[in-house]
Amino acid sequence: MSRVGKYPVEIPAGVQVALAGEIITVKGKLGELSLALTDKVDTTIDGNKVVVAPRGGSAPARMMWGTTRALVASMIKGVSTGYTKSMEITGTGYRAAVNGDTLVLNLGFSHDVNYKIPAGIKISCEKPTAIKVEGVDKRLVGQVCAEIRTWRPPEPYKGKGVKFDGEQILRKEGKKK
């Protein structure tokens, strides 16, 4: 079992952490996030550190110990530096563009795919084949990338589709004569 929960989370300069009952709120230069804590862990703020400890020795309490610590750490990192994921589009005629609060994707369908950009997320396209997703919430950034990818995941023969930067696509050999 991992012991990641025993390490306190450092609070960097410029980030404010407030604990009100069972809700922890983190404010930073990029935004504000809050998390409803479970009753299986105790969370305290000691100076510039957030300490999470399990209530009792039960298995669910120990599981939520590390999970809560990781969630608080990702919130603190999100409001101080933010999260960024880059994606590539491969394929003839495949491209992306941001039009207001909508991401317009041409992915080989008979129509364009219009994806409404959720609040708290910034999407930019430096090139027509590159998408950059930025935000303060790690879960939301990953969810948006997963939703964009589901429209056209990379196929194994030519590698056409939407993939993450640096992702290795397992390629298959085509038909032989």
Total residues found in the chain within this entry? 177
Q: What is the CATH number of domain 83-164?
A: 3.90.930.12
pTM of the predicted protein model: 0.88
Residue whose token pair is 């056209």: 152
Compute CA distances 175 → 60, 104, 112, 169, whole Å: 51, 34, 31, 18
- What is the rounded distance in angstroms from the CA atom of residue 32 to the CA atom of residue 76? 9
Given a contact cutoff of 8 angstroms between Cβ atoms, the answer to whether 5 and 68 are in contact is yes
Given a contact cutoff of 8 angstroms between Cβ atoms, the answer to whether 165 and 88 are in contact is yes
Predicted local distance difference test score (pLDDT) of residue 3: 82
Which residue intervals of the chain bear CATH 3.90.930.12? 4-80, 83-164
Predicted local distance difference test score (pLDDT) of residue 57: 85
Class level of CATH domain 4-80 = alpha beta
What's the pLDDT tens digit per position in 58-101? 999 999 999 999 999 999 999 999 999 999 999 999 999 999 99
Q: Is 142 helix (H, G, I), strand (E, B) or coil?
A: helix
- What is the rounded distance in angstroms from the CA atom of residue 22 to the CA atom of residue 72? 13
- What is the rounded distance in angstroms from the CA atom of residue 32 to the CA atom of residue 133? 18
Predicted local distance difference test score (pLDDT) of residue 175: 86
Tokens representing 78 are: 């999100």
Predicted local distance difference test score (pLDDT) of residue 56: 87
